[in-house]
Amino acid sequence: MTQYQGGCHCGNVRFEADVDLAHVMTCNCSHCQAKGFMLTFVPADNFRLLKGEDAQTEYLFNKRAIQHLFCSTCGVQSFGRGQMPDGTPTVAVNVRCLDGVDLETLEPQKVDGRSF
């Protein structure tokens, strides 16, 4: 695990998270594909929102189980909150929003979210 900082485009939302970039995924569900997400999941305890709790808007769809949060100013979704299948709170971090990550060095796993 490595600690990274990240956030939205305009800087109104900032966070730090302890993540393992060996476990990155892309998904072809309607939401992830449209937004071009590259995600990694971290336990909620490994995520710290530094700025922007009040600067976000929530978007819920489908089963309404994932709290998709995006900056109300620039529209970037840098993370979302949800639960693992066992009920453990988790945060889906948009790896594209982490500072200093060379995306070309990552090997994301492809997930067939359309089939869920």
Tell me whether residue 29 is in a domain. yes
Residue 51: per-residue pLDDT: 97
Query: What CATH number is given to the structural domain containing 9?
Result: 2.170.150.70
Domain assignment present for 32: yes
Residue-wise pLDDT for 25-57, tens only, equals 999 988 889 999 999 999 999 999 999 999 999
Domain that includes residue 34, residue range:
2-111
pLDDT > 90 fraction of the chain, expressed in percent and rounded: 80
SS3 46: helix
Structure-model confidence comparison of residues 72 and 63, the more confident one: 72
pTM: 0.92
In a domain, 116, yes or no: no
Domain total in the chain: 1
